[in-house]
Structure 1
Amino acid sequence: MSDVTGRWRELNRACWDERVPIHVGGDFYDLDGFRNDPDVLRPFEREEVGDVTGRTLVHLQCHFGLDTLSWATRGASVTGLDFSEPAIAAATRIARETGIDARFVAADVYDAAEALGTTYDIVYTGLGALNWLPDLTRWAETAAGLVAPGGFLYLAEFHPFTHVFDDETGSRRENDYFKGGPTVWDEPGTYADLTAETRHNVTVEWDHTLGDVVSAITATGLRLEFLHEHDYTLFPRYRTLERGPGGIYTQRGPRVPMMYSLRAVR
């Protein structure tokens, strides 16, 4: 166990590197649809971040950059950063093919300050990013250090409360909300294609409570402006979720929070 967790970065990077072509070529991200309408941002993100025209924005842990490029089409001067070189290569290629102006940098998020060498009006991150990081305090300090005076950190993320319930129905309590981590997984496929054949299937993840996230961010000196919770998610977190317009998944009956978003300003 300790040998595996000590190799968390190596294992996680191998997993993500292998899945980049599956994600780029699959239906989940719908790259052809993006080429026709290059804006995949969620409505609450557009509203909460606001007008980005003429502002600089960095997207941390950007995968292959569709969200990053979406902010560019809305007027931001964007940079995307990810530790997967195949993901950055794909993002750069998509930017070139679509004619969208963007800069992409391959680097670990903990090394973002050194790799980027500047600060930004908006530091944007989230949607399945924090669970890959063991040190939330270091992440928050890194992200806050990238925020220019008068700028803000914006985080949209899957709600940690969803991990409490079983995958099948989403109604039975099976897991400890406060368990933390690390947790080692050995699962083939990917959320974007559950039947995909994959070889690099061992990953290491950490659960961070909502309180942990907010405390880490506010400890950097950033001021929390809002914390919002949302009653839908972007993938079939539970098998009983129903897919609705815009590719969102919702529950029948009593609801639980499935995503959250926050903004913290300097």
Structure 2
Amino acid sequence: MREDDRTAELVEDNRRHWDERVPIHTASPFYDLNGFRAGEEVLDRFQLDELGDVTGLDLVHLQCHIGLDTLGWARHGARVAGLDFSAPAVRTATELAAEVGLSHRARFVAADVRDAVDELGADGFDVVYTGGGALMWLPDIVEWARTVAALLRPGGRLYLVEFHPLTEVLDDEHGATVDRDYFTRRPRTYDAPGSYADWEAETTHNTATEWHHTVGDVVSAIAGAGLRIEFLHEHDTIPFRRYAALATDGAYFHYPEGRPRLPLMYSLTAAKPRR
């Protein structure tokens, strides 16, 4: 079997994995759709501060899942498009947009990221946004960066928020001991019943594959696509208990007081030069 064929099989396994988890996530307190319907903020404060005012901007959210963050940006004034390879996720996002009165400024498309330009058009967006837990599902980070650059208008910006790849190689209990090789790029396939939103949920499609991209890989791919890095920030908080030993302030998780900290998330902005 050719490597391209094998990669396509792994991506299809991931699609089935995510399709099955859409109703689990829709019903879970983790995503708290009722809170969103009631008007609660879904975007981290640092994201709002870093990206700034999006009023009147065209924003596309790649790998948008059920559209919560996408619609969060719409509530802050952006015209948004969300793209995800899971058709059930896109249906859920479309229904949620209608429920909260945002259909006039939000649209959702079921497609692979590699087909985003064909589906949405080149040079069409002021902002390309990608939120936490997205890049690890992409086999080719260079292809992703080229897609981002093609979607952006001249002067437009990529805003990326992601779990720090260091978190993928540390032990699950304490987040302090290196368990895996940081520089291994081979795909990692594993069995994952349930969901981070509900570990007790009964699931059938449990095989998942992730691809590890170092910070250097991501930054180099973005720069190689012709975008200019404006900042790279590392953060010591994360929105879920990535390691058992993490403490919480009620909204975010972090290393306990008195312990040395490691980065848990990072964010960056990169701009497309004006012609």
The answer to whether TM tops 0.5 is: yes
CA displacement 1:21-66 (0-9 Å, x = unmatched): 0000011001111111243001111011100011100000000000
Asked if the contact 1:62/1:68 (under 8 Å) is kept, the reply is yes
Closer, same or farther in 2 for the Cα pair 1:145/1:5, shift >3 Å?
Answer: closer
Shift of 1:126: 2.7
CA displacement 1:140-198 (0-9 Å, x = unmatched): 00011101011101100000011221111212221111111200011101111112111
User: Which residue does 2:263 correspond to in 1?
Assistant: 257
**Unpaired runs of 5+ in structure 2?**
none
- Residue 192 (structure 1) aligned with residue 197 (structure 2): yes
Shift of 1:87: 0.2
- Counterpart secondary structure, 2:159: strand
User: Which residue does 1:103 correspond to in 2?
Assistant: 107
Closer, same or farther in 2 for the Cα pair 1:89/1:114, shift >3 Å?
Answer: same
Q: 1:133-212 to 2 correspondence within 5 Å?
A: 133-212=138-217
Shift of 1:5: 4.8
Q: CA RMSD in A?
A: 1.4
Identical counterparts, % of pairs: 57
- For residues 135 and 11 of structure 2, what CA distance do their matches in structure 1 show? 13
Asked if the contact 1:180/1:207 (under 8 Å) is kept, the reply is yes
Q: 1:231-242 to 2 correspondence within 5 Å?
A: 231-242=236-247
Asked if the contact 1:39/1:73 (under 8 Å) is kept, the reply is no
- Counterpart secondary structure, 1:189: coil
- For residues 11 and 40 of structure 2, what CA distance do their matches in structure 1 show? 31
User: Which residue does 1:15 correspond to in 2?
Assistant: 17
- Corresponding residue pairs, total: 265
User: Which residue does 1:45 correspond to in 2?
Assistant: 47
CA displacement 1:121-155 (0-9 Å, x = unmatched): 00001311100011110000001110101110110
Asked if the contact 1:225/1:262 (under 8 Å) is kept, the reply is yes
**Unpaired runs of 5+ in structure 1?**
none
Amino acid paired to 2:254: T
Closer, same or farther in 2 for the Cα pair 1:195/1:40, shift >3 Å?
Answer: same
The match for 1:243 among 232, 244, 248 is 248
Shift of 1:208: 0.4
Bigger mean CA deviation after superposition, 179-188 or 208-217: 179-188
- For residues 152 and 201 of structure 1, what CA distance do their matches in structure 2 show? 35
Closer, same or farther in 2 for the Cα pair 1:5/1:265, shift >3 Å?
Answer: closer
- For residues 155 and 187 of structure 2, what CA distance do their matches in structure 1 show? 36
Asked if the contact 1:124/1:155 (under 8 Å) is kept, the reply is yes
Shift of 1:4: 6.2
Shift of 1:6: 4.8
Shift of 1:210: 0.2
Bigger mean CA deviation after superposition, 114-123 or 131-140: 114-123
- For residues 138 and 191 of structure 1, what CA distance do their matches in structure 2 show? 28
- For residues 55 and 18 of structure 1, what CA distance do their matches in structure 2 show? 33
The match for 1:220 among 217, 225, 231 is 225
